[in-house]
Structure 1
Amino acid sequence: MAAPGFLEADGRNMSRATVLMLMAPFFALVIFAFLYPLANLLSISVLEPQPTLEHYQRVAENPVYARVLFRTLQIALLVSLLSLALSLPVAVLMANSRGPKAIFLTACILLPFWSSVLVRTAAWAILLQRNGIINQTLQFIGITDEPVRLLYTQGAVVVAMTHVLMPFMVLPIYGALRNIPADYSRAAAICGAGPLRTFWEVTLPLAMPGIIGGFILVFLTALGYFITPALLGSPQEMMIATLISQQMRENLDWPFAAALVGVLTLIVTVITLAFSKVFRFERMLGGRV
């Protein structure tokens, strides 16, 4: 029997005090492992070596850093669009599958989580190298006469990041599709709509919260991605996370690196708040329609 105060009068819903108590460890972890270090880092950008906004002025005035920020946004958007285009058919197939087929598809989506991002990125480096299987195949079928440069390019970064982040797009869309009652499709068929029209006018609008949620999740994750761009990209086409690491590890310019973190945090916050005004958070995660 539950202790007094843990349940509401109807005996089913937990009280507000119980919810806060259960959430306390999570909030403590967020504060001490994320908010506190982030606040300290951002304070460095405006307090060292003395109170100043000089480091943010460098970001705004130097066109090199503006190009890095623009490239980061461009790559994150491209990765998100490619992930959406590849994930939507997979999510639809998963939602319409049952039995062993559904188990197999789900395992294929969850399998990447069993290996680290570093391993998956290293695998792409092997595939894209000059003597890799992709170059060998291109030469074997006669498309190219000699190995082409695939590694250390923006294309390699986009392809590898899309592969790594696709599960984060598939799962929210799949959750939204699974919550759509099957009666809706039957009703559309009774009204004379074909499968394509049913999907376009019924299924897709109802799945839009999951699509938007997956898109935002992939986009925001891609903005701060480090391992894949660092291993597969070139110094001439670095992203913001690589630039921050360079300023910290090579130039030892922590205040300027903290300013870059501040700019990236501002961009992420603005994007998140903008979408939260339009879409309910629980629906973006594939909640019920």
Structure 2
Amino acid sequence: MTSTTLTQRGRAASAARNLVRVAKPGLLPGLLLLVLFFLYPLAEMIRISFADPQLGLQNYSWFFSSEVNVAVTLRTFWTAFAVALICLLIAYPYAYVMSTAGPRLRTILLAVVLTPLWTSLMVRTLAWIVLLQDSGIINDALEALHVGRVPLIRTTTGVIIGMSQMLLPFMVLPLYSVMSKIDPKYLQAAAALGARPLTAFFKVYLPMTKAGVFAGSLTVFVLGLGFYIIPALLGSPRNTMLSALIQQQVGGLLQWGRGSAMGVILLVSTILVLAICLRLTKGVRLGNVGGA
């Protein structure tokens, strides 16, 4: 039995080494693209943040000495967090229905999620302007229900609504990927042992979907930090996010040093948040159901 196991492991190791040897030439184009279009621009951004207009920390000193910059940074992270939370609350039951539905309904639900990704971001944003404006369909419906018209355009609420709709697929798909692998017999066993539905959900089902929750939440959060078009069109100067300030410094004022410093600060802040999240979720392996 032991010799058979060792033989199988030896064959697997040999196959892995052969695969690596075959794949090495194929990795070169990808590595070249990574260096040219990610690592080099990143290194250049860091260099400019310290060297423009002269070598030193003046760009970082300018950033942290401005209350506006700090407030916009905090607003950016808060908005991204709010969007991730809203997407999670909407995507979780939707992904659950997808995972338990029949093939035909599952295909329809998946198409509903993926269809917005096939539409231009600008077109979808302009559609939200039509829907959220004071004379739009949403406010007309609220007035018909005697709720009254609510300001949705040029507000933080409008920005969060637009961003949530855009990023919802990136929450649904990781959740569905995890939920589709969960055997329904776990919940049946919990019910057979006398567990109530809510108890079975929180004690059995929810822990098994933690991998999808964390993967989707981190993806939506990181993508939300860099959004530019939606906050610019659905928001107002009071809802400015860090991406707009970076564009203003680089494209409007030609302050490449300051813009690069803001980019570096956003990058470092994002990495710190991700490191904290990964530390808190140390027991969850994002590739496995339930972190097993």
- When normalised by structure 1's length, the TM-score is 0.89
| Structure 2 contact 209–289 (Cα < 8 Å) conserved | no
Are the structure 2 counterparts of residues 275 and 92 from structure 1 closer, same or farther at C-alpha, using a change threshold of 3 Å? same
Hey, what's the Cα distance between the residues in 2 that align with 1:155 and 1:21? 50
RMSD in angstroms over aligned alpha carbons? 2.1
| Structure 2 contact 182–289 (Cα < 8 Å) conserved | no
Shift of 1:224: 1.0
Hey, what's the Cα distance between the residues in 2 that align with 1:258 and 1:244? 8
Shift of 1:272: 2.5
Query: What does 1:144-223 correspond to in 2, within 5 Å?
Result: 144=148, 147-223=149-225
| Structure 1 contact 157–229 (Cα < 8 Å) conserved | yes
Partner of 1:283: helix, strand, or coil?
coil
Aligned to 2:29: 25
- Aligned match for 1:104, one of 89, 102, 108: 108
Amino acid at match of 2:28: A
Aligned to 2:4: none
Q: Structure 1 residue 241 and structure 2 residue 261: aligned?
A: no
Amino acid at match of 1:73: F
Partner of 1:243: helix, strand, or coil?
helix
Are the structure 2 counterparts of residues 287 and 117 from structure 1 closer, same or farther at C-alpha, using a change threshold of 3 Å? farther
Aligned to 1:81: 85
Are the structure 2 counterparts of residues 285 and 119 from structure 1 closer, same or farther at C-alpha, using a change threshold of 3 Å? farther
Shift of 1:24: 3.3
Once the two structures are superposed, what CA deviation does each residue of 1:200-220 show, in whole Å capped at 9, x if it has no partner? 111100100110110011011
Once the two structures are superposed, what CA deviation does each residue of 1:59-97 show, in whole Å capped at 9, x if it has no partner? 111111000001001101111111111110001111111
| Structure 1 contact 87–170 (Cα < 8 Å) conserved | yes
Once the two structures are superposed, what CA deviation does each residue of 1:11-51 show, in whole Å capped at 9, x if it has no partner? 75453334444443333222211121121122111011221
| Structure 1 contact 175–287 (Cα < 8 Å) conserved | no
Amino acid at match of 1:238: T
Are the structure 2 counterparts of residues 188 and 165 from structure 1 closer, same or farther at C-alpha, using a change threshold of 3 Å? same
Hey, what's the Cα distance between the residues in 2 that align with 1:220 and 1:286? 21
| Structure 1 contact 172–211 (Cα < 8 Å) conserved | yes
Q: Structure 1 residue 131 and structure 2 residue 135: aligned?
A: yes
Hey, what's the Cα distance between the residues in 2 that align with 1:205 and 1:267? 28
Shift of 1:113: 1.1
- Aligned match for 1:261, one of 249, 256, 263: 263
Shift of 1:180: 1.7
Hey, what's the Cα distance between the residues in 2 that align with 1:185 and 1:24? 47
Which has the larger share of helix? 2
Are the structure 2 counterparts of residues 276 and 22 from structure 1 closer, same or farther at C-alpha, using a change threshold of 3 Å? farther
Tell me whether 25-34 or 201-210 shows the greater mean CA deviation: 25-34
Hey, what's the Cα distance between the residues in 2 that align with 1:276 and 1:244? 28
Hey, what's the Cα distance between the residues in 2 that align with 1:96 and 1:187? 17
* Aligned pairs, number: 280
| Structure 2 contact 175–209 (Cα < 8 Å) conserved | yes
Query: What does 1:50-89 correspond to in 2, within 5 Å?
Result: 50-89=54-93
Hey, what's the Cα distance between the residues in 2 that align with 1:156 and 1:286? 36
List gaps (5 residues or longer) in structure 2.
1-9
Partner of 2:285: helix, strand, or coil?
helix
List gaps (5 residues or longer) in structure 1.
1-7
Q: Structure 1 residue 43 and structure 2 residue 47: aligned?
A: yes
Tell me whether 36-45 or 181-190 shows the greater mean CA deviation: 181-190
Partner of 1:9: helix, strand, or coil?
helix
| Structure 2 contact 210–284 (Cα < 8 Å) conserved | no
Partner of 1:193: helix, strand, or coil?
coil
Are the structure 2 counterparts of residues 12 and 109 from structure 1 closer, same or farther at C-alpha, using a change threshold of 3 Å? farther
| Structure 2 contact 208–289 (Cα < 8 Å) conserved | no
Shift of 1:280: 6.8
- When normalised by structure 2's length, the TM-score is 0.89
